[in-house]
Structure 1
Amino acid sequence: MRHLAIVSLCLLTASCAAVVGKKELATYDLSAPTSFAEISGQTNAQLLVSIPTALKSLDSEMIVVRPGGAEITYFGDGQWNDKLPVLLQDKIIRTLENSNRVRSVVKPGDGVVVDYKIATTIRAFELVNDKGSIARVSLSVKIINDRTGRVRASRLFTATAPASLANTKKAVASLDVALDSVLRQLLVWVLKTI
């Protein structure tokens, strides 16, 4: 019994040391547009927004940095508040809902009969440090008729914003600016297409 108590104490001490020595990462969220005065149109369609697909390098909580060429690294002191595809699904849904121009927007599993699915692939969501620093967001989006399975329309949305890689907070703000542009473009396109 005494031996078990000593082993338990050693394990507890080792666990505490590991936690104390671990550096806390700052956690960041992205925003969705809330003002749409410049956007016109409306649809009575019910839309389903699926979780975007992405390569493994983007399918995580880590913030991608491309120092140049094909190399991919991550900010060491910051992370997203969820996996990037889940975060972007949320921002697409919020943008469509915030606009008050779409009848209904749901996620898979909500049990709602929908007219169209919004299928997205994340092509780029990164900070690029090659001949100047920029934030780049690129989403390939398809509108799929839920009844027929046919693609109604597809489009690639890309935006960049000047970026500062001096710290993670400024870098994330640059990605947020580029994402805002992409989400607004996406909303206008959805309203014109459906």
Structure 2
Amino acid sequence: MSRCRRHAWRSLLLMALLATLSACTLLPEGSPASIHLLPAAEQPRADGPTLPTTLRIETPHAPTLLTGTRILVMPEPHRLQAYEGARWSDRTPLLLRDRFIEGFRQRGRLAATLDDNSPLAADVALVTDLRVFHSEYIAGEPVAVIRLDASLVDERDRRLLATRRFEAQAASTGTAVTRVVEAFGRAGDSLTAELIDWTHDTLGNR
């Protein structure tokens, strides 16, 4: 083989090697995050007449720290961090909004329940401000804590009908993130049930 041909072969081999290395750098680095849904138990259907009210459930307002998909934990007072390699399936305010909507629809007793993307008109809006959505250690064990302020607003004249603060806690059965996620589900179920009862009572007494 001539010197020129050997040089050409070496050049081709070098180019192929560089192309292979470049392709490798396109692969994602690190292990993918585990994605967690917010567990939810079905709300029992309520007895009694259906109220002729259409409710719009607004996406909860939240501080920046609570608007993402990170699963937050407070291992000690006044210090928050995220569980490594774990994420919620959607942004936290959307998880709660969808949980509330599904709970109201399961319970019944309202003419309709809408989200804030619906073009349909509503009689009353449920407006919430999410204050806390993290697990914290109480007596050495993780506890899921959800706290929000809720308001019912007349959609016709934007008049405030009622307001209340809600808080729900659920102890985790372990420190693994899957156990903590289950605790968030139980806290979410409790909060949803209280919110539904309060809304129905308020609207039923109008």
TM-score (norm 2): 0.83
Work out which of the residue numbers 158, 162, 178 in structure 2 matches 1:149.
158
Q: Is the 8 A contact 2:72 2:135 kept in 1?
A: yes
Q: Is the 8 A contact 2:39 2:181 kept in 1?
A: no
Q: Which moved more, 1:164-173 or 1:183-192?
A: 164-173
- Counterparts of 1:55 and 1:14, CA distance in 2: 36
CA offset digits 1:23-69 (Å, max 9, x no partner): 12211111344242677664221011111111111111111100111
- Counterparts of 1:46 and 1:38, CA distance in 2: 17
- 2:89 matched residue in structure 1: 81
One-letter code of the match for 1:107?
D
What's the Cα RMSD here?
2.2
- Residue 163 in 1 paired to residue 190 in 2? no
- Counterparts of 1:149 and 1:4, CA distance in 2: 68
- Residue 117 in 1 paired to residue 125 in 2? yes
Instruction: Give how far 1:9 is off.
Output: 4.9
Higher gyration radius (CA): 2
Of all paired residues, the percent bearing the same amino acid is 21
Instruction: Give how far 1:120 is off.
Output: 1.1
CA offset digits 1:63-87 (Å, max 9, x no partner): 1100111100011132110001111
Q: Is the 8 A contact 1:135 1:171 kept in 2?
A: yes
Q: Is the 8 A contact 1:42 1:101 kept in 2?
A: yes
Runs of 5+ unmatched residues, structure 1 = none
- Residue 188 in 1 paired to residue 197 in 2? yes
- Counterparts of 1:41 and 1:33, CA distance in 2: 24
- 2:8 matched residue in structure 1: none
Instruction: Give how far 1:109 is off.
Output: 3.1
One-letter code of the match for 1:47?
L
- Residue 173 in 1 paired to residue 158 in 2? no
- 1:27 matched residue in structure 2: 35
One-letter code of the match for 2:183?
S
Q: Which moved more, 1:98-107 or 1:179-188?
A: 98-107
- 1:52 matched residue in structure 2: 60
- Counterparts of 1:15 and 1:161, CA distance in 2: 42
Instruction: Give how far 1:134 is off.
Output: 1.4
Q: Is the 8 A contact 1:39 1:188 kept in 2?
A: no
